[in-house]
Structure 1
C-alpha cells in the first residue's frame, strides 16, 4: 500500500481489519483537500486489498470530522487554468468521490464516531455501513447555518433513508445538534458506547463480520444498499452539488455566516451577492 500521509493514517490492529484515521485534530479533522485527496486514495487501495475484510473509519482528537474547513481549504489537484465555476465543480467532484468510494468498498465500513460529525463529517458517517458513536459525539447538518443549503455530499439522500423523512427534514432545516443519545434513539447510530470503549467495540463488530464468508458479507452490503436506493445516489449528489454551488457563488451568505460567527452575532442572510 502507498504510504499514507500525515493527515490520513492506516493501521491494522487485528487480522482482516483496517482502521483509517482522519488525522487533523487541530482542525477537528475538517475536510480540507489536503486530507480528502489522500483519503480518496487510501479508500481506493483498501478496495483492492484482499487481506482487509472490514474497514473502521474514525477521527483523531475530539472530532470525527467538522466538515468544510473555513480557514484553509487546501489544494485541489488538476485544476490549473480553470475558471472559478469549473474549479468549484471539480472541487465538488473530489468530495463526492470520497462518499462514493465508501459506498463502493467491497468491505463493510464501520464509522467509529468519536466526536463532532458536522456537515460533510455527517455525510462521511452516513456513507458508512454501520455507525457507532462515543457518548460525547454529536451530529449537525451545518449547511443551513452557513447560509447555504443543508443538502451536500448525498446528505438529503442518505439521511432520510437512515432516520426517516420527517426527522431528516427537521434536522436539516433547523441545523440543530443531535447528541449521541438522540442519534441512537432515532437510528442514526446503532450503538452508543463510552469514549474509551469505542474502538474496541467496533473491533468486536469487525471481527464478527470478518468471520463470515467474504462473498456473503460483500453481497449483503450490496443488496442492502441497492434495496435502499430508489434512484441513483451519484445523480442525486450532482444535483445537490449544483444547488450548493448556486447558493455559494451567487450570494454572500456563506461569507456573512463566517463573519457573523467570528463577531459572535446572528447572521443576516440575504439573496444578494
Structure 2
C-alpha cells in the first residue's frame, strides 16, 4: 500500500488524488470557515508525512471547503497540544504555540511542492498557512490578512515575520503586519503574493501541479529545497556552494542520462523517481 493511502480517519480535512501524482488537500470545516483546531493540526501533520513518504505523489494543492480558505485559529474549539493536559498553564501555552507553528514549518519543508488555492477569506493562521506554501493562486473574491493583533498578540506568528518580507519585501510587509488590515486578491496579486488570479483557483493550481509533475521528482525536491535555502544564504558564495552540491547530487541518479536519451529519441523522459 502506498504511504499516502495510509493516511486515514480524517475528520477535519479531505484528501483526494485528482490524477496520477497530484493530490488535493481540502480543509473541511466549512461551517467554521475551516478554522484551525488541534485535531486539524494533527491531521495535517499526518498528511504532510504521508505526502513526503509517498514516491508516487509529485505535488499538493491545498484549498478550503465552502466559501473560504481558512479563518485562522478556532478560538472556541482549538483544543490542546499533545501531552499538555497535566502541565502548568505557561508550559501548556508554549506547547500549543509550538505545535501550531511547527505545522507551517513542516508544510514549508515538505519534499513536495505545495500550492495554496485560496478561494475566499484567508486570515490569521490561514494566511500563515498560505504563506508557508511554495505557490499561491487565488480567486478574485479572496481576501488576506495577518490579524493576530485583533486578539491582542503579535502579528508575527506562525512564520508570518519570516515568510511575508521574503515574498513582498520588508517595507510592504511592515505596513501589512502593523496595521493588521484585510486586503483583497487584486492587491495580493499586485504586490507579488500570488502566482495567478483565477475564477477557479483550484483548477489553476492543479494546472501548475501538473506542470511540476512533468519534471524529475528528485530534481523538483532539490529545486524547492535549494531555492528556499539560498534565500537565507549569507552570501553569493554560500548560495553557489549549495547549488553546486545539489547539481552533483541530481546528476548522479540517472535522470540526466535518461533526459538525453529521451531527447534523442523524441519521447518524454521516464524519470527514476526519488
Same fold (TM over 0.5): yes
Match of 1:26 among 15, 25, 31: 31
| Residue 201 of structure 1: aligned partner | 204
Q: CA deviation at 1:27?
A: 0.8
| Residue 194 of structure 2: aligned partner | 189
Q: CA deviation at 1:74?
A: 2.4
Q: Work out whether residues 134 and 198 of structure 1, in 8 Å CA contact, stay in contact via their aligned partners in 2.
A: yes
How far apart in 2 are the matches of 1:2 and 1:110?
Answer: 20
Give unmatched runs, 5+ long, in structure 1: 232-273
> Superposition pairs for residues 92-131 of structure 1, below 5 Å?
92-131=97-136
How far apart in 1 are the matches of 2:187 and 2:129?
Answer: 19
Cα RMSD between the aligned structures?
Answer: 1.2
Runs of 4+ in structure 1 over 6 Å off: none
How far apart in 1 are the matches of 2:219 and 2:20?
Answer: 18
1:210 aligns with 2:213: yes
Match of 2:18 among 13, 20, 25: 13
Kindly name which structure, 1 or 2, has the bigger radius of gyration based on alpha carbons: 2
Q: Work out whether residues 80 and 96 of structure 2, in 8 Å CA contact, stay in contact via their aligned partners in 1.
A: no
How far apart in 2 are the matches of 1:99 and 1:72?
Answer: 20
Tell me the TM-score normalized by structure 2.
0.81
1:37 aligns with 2:27: no
Match of 2:75 among 66, 70, 73: 70
Q: CA deviation at 1:2?
A: 2.4
Q: Work out whether residues 101 and 158 of structure 2, in 8 Å CA contact, stay in contact via their aligned partners in 1.
A: yes
How far apart in 2 are the matches of 1:101 and 1:147?
Answer: 26
Q: CA deviation at 1:229?
A: 2.3
Tell me the TM-score normalized by structure 1.
0.81
Match of 1:57 among 62, 66, 77: 62
